[in-house]
Amino acid sequence: MPSFRQMIDGFMERRVAHIPALQVSSDQKLALCRQHGDFAVAYSTAVQENLKHFGDDRGYLAYATKMGHTFVLGDPVAPRAERERYIQEFVKAAVSPCFVQVGKETASVLSRLGYRVNHMGVDTHIAFDQHSFAGKRNETVRYSERWLIKQGYAIIECDGTKTQAEQIKSVSEGWRSGRIVSRREMCFLNRPFFPDLSPHMRRFVILNPDGATVALLDFDPIFEDSVVKGYTAAFKRKLPGTTPHAEIGLTKFAADRFREEGHARVTLGLSPLAAIESSGFTESRLWRALFQRAFHSDRINTHIFNLRGQAAFKRRFHGDEVPTYIAFRRRTPLEMIALLRLLKTL
């Protein structure tokens, strides 16, 4: 028998505007992503099974619904010159959807359409033509990699044969057991974790002196015109008790590998609610204040999600903090509750 919450959700879902469904296969979504997936969550929009899609054979928007509200993830996966059209058509079809983790160009379009646009956090970008791990400020990053090697750890790229999927699954489950909320994984902003390697993914692991996998770091591709131009960190996980040097050393090792291969950049992923300032667009000052307060809240960081810890880890690498945006018309508490439930933080 459905719970009361499920009954309420079902009632509210029936109020969502009818949106013409785009029927595309996984291969078709990946093909579009290879052509136009030049932003951090583009790959996630193509591989998340719980997302819906709107568009045509030239491009799409990925979205999900919760509690009668519609939420778009990221920018359109479409030719850059046509992205504004996809946004306009979806806004018309979906009736005031909320856009989450979008870039500045999409934010500008939405602002012209009457949306309030707020910062929702930053993504740390390391552009290899402007950044290196040399110098005093990156001394601790270099030390972590050296420490691991001196202690007998090995850092390798996983090609699907050096480490088995069961070992990877064990690391992931061990990591989850120590999380603030261990019974569920966040979704929407995060794609599902895959124990097996998926197309175009890169995975780096740490083996302890006995050869067992104790930590991993997964990256999703960032494309431009069907060429991989960079990677974005998707998951970092380690067994409980593993040295804190593991995550830092893994990140440096992977970034150095990407640099050697001639890729343009790596991004470390979203730091939610970090560095919230005035967005430069018409925005909700109330939500800006609430986002800032949430980031500094001991209660939220201790019992819901470690926002400050996420941001502090990424700032160790001294990349550029690029703002990401959330855009909404309704600006109601119910819409924000629906988003938090979609993310599975509530």
Of 61-65, 202-206, 232-236, 327-331, where does mean pLDDT reach its minimum?
A: 327-331
Could you tell me how many residues make up the chain? 346
- What predicted TM-score, i.e. pTM, was given to this entire model? 0.93
- Counting Cα atoms < 13 Å in the Cβ hemisphere of 253 gives 27
Burial class (CB in 10 A: 0-12, 13-18, 19+), 320: middle
13 has pLDDT over 70: no
Is the pLDDT higher at 307 or at 179? 307
Residue at 147: amino acid letter: W
- Counting Cα atoms < 13 Å in the Cβ hemisphere of 78 gives 21
Q: What is the mean pLDDT of the segment spanning 256-271?
A: 97
Summarised one tens digit per residue, pLDDT across range 74-100 is 999 999 999 999 999 999 999 899 999
Helices 307-315 and 285-296, interaxial angle, to 10°? 80
Report helix, strand or coil for 5.
helix
- Residue 216 has φ and ψ, to the nearest 5°, of -145, 155
> What is the Cα–Cα distance from 198 to 283, expressed in whole angstroms?
38
Domain ranges of the chain: 4-115+329-342, 130-263
**Quick one: tokens of 117?**
């646009």
> What is the Cα–Cα distance from 318 to 306, expressed in whole angstroms?
20
Q: What is the mean pLDDT of the segment spanning 159-180?
A: 75
Which architecture does CATH list for 130-263?
A: 3-Layer(aba) Sandwich (3.40)
Average model confidence (pLDDT) for the chain? Answer: 91
**Quick one: tokens of 112?**
């012209």
Is the pLDDT higher at 332 or at 141? 141
Output the CA angle 298-187-242, nearest 5 degrees: 60
